[in-house]
Amino acid sequence: KTHAQVVPPEKISITFWGVDSTMFSPAPEPPGFRILFVGGDPIRKGLIYLLEALKEADLFLQPYELWIVGCAPLQGVPPHWKQFGLTYYAEMPNIYRQCSVLVCPTLEDGIALCVQEAMASGVVPVTSEETADVFKDGVSGIKIPYRNPQAIKDALKMLHDNPNKRREMAHAARAMAEMQTWGSTKENFKEVVRRVANGGSLP
C-alpha cells in the first residue's frame, strides 16, 4: 500500500517470504500463557503498544509471561518478563515453540518473517495490517489496527480465556505456514521475472 502511493498498483507484484517448516515446528503446548515479541527495532516494531496493552495484564491475564527477543533490554521490568536481547538465529526455533502467542504490532513492514516463523511453530500471530496477509484473520491469526493497544489487549484476552480456540488457530497457522515454503517463494519470483522478460504485465 505504501508503494502504491507512488507506483501504479497494476505494476506491483507481491511474493511472500517462505519459511522452513522443518526447522520451525510445534512442540507440546507450553504451560501457562507466554507472549512473544521479536524485533530489533522496538519503535518500528511497535513494542510500546504491546507494553501499553499489558499495563493492566495482571487483571485479565493470569498467569502470563512476556518474552522479548532482539532489542536492547528494558529497565525495571516485572520478573515474569524475560529479555533475550540479540539472539542467534539458530536459537529462535526453540524460543518460538515455547510460546503461545506472537504479538507483532509493527508500524512498517512489508512482510514480517517472524510472523511466518511463529505460525510454523504453532504459535498464534497477532499482528498489524499488511503483515497479516499471510494468514486468515480469526482463523489462523488475528489482525489488529496500527497503534491500537486496546485491540492487542482484546486479542490476548480472547486467546488466554479460550485455550481450545487458541489450539485450533495454532493448528490452522501451522497448516498455512507449511504451504508457504521457500520453494514456492522462488517459483513465484521466477514467474514474475518470466512475465516481465516476455513483455508481460504485473501482477
- Give the Cα separation of 171 and 177 in Å (integer): 10
What pTM does this model have? 0.90
CB atoms within 10 A of CB 192: 15
User: Which residue spans within 32-76 are E strands per DSSP?
Assistant: 34-38, 65-69
How do residues 48-72 score in pLDDT, each as one tens digit?
Answer: 999 999 998 988 888 899 999 999 9
Q: Cβ(104)–Cβ(115) under 8 Å?
A: yes
**CA 26, CA 120: separation in Å to the nearest integer?**
7
DSSP state of 141: B
> Which residues share a beta bridge with 104?
127
- pLDDT tens digits, 145-203: 999 999 999 999 999 999 999 999 999 999 999 999 999 999 988 988 888 888 766 55
Nearest to 189 by CA among 15, 19, 18, 17: 15
Q: Does residue 133 register a pLDDT over 80? A: yes
Q: How many CA atoms lie within 13 A of 159 on its CB side?
A: 30
Helices (H) and strands (E) in the chain, counts: 7, 6
Lowest-pLDDT range, 30-44, 136-150, 165-179?
30-44
Please report which confidence band the pLDDT of residue 131 belongs to, taking 50, 70 and 90 as the band edges: confident
| Amino acid at position 197, single letter | A
pLDDT at 111 over 90: no
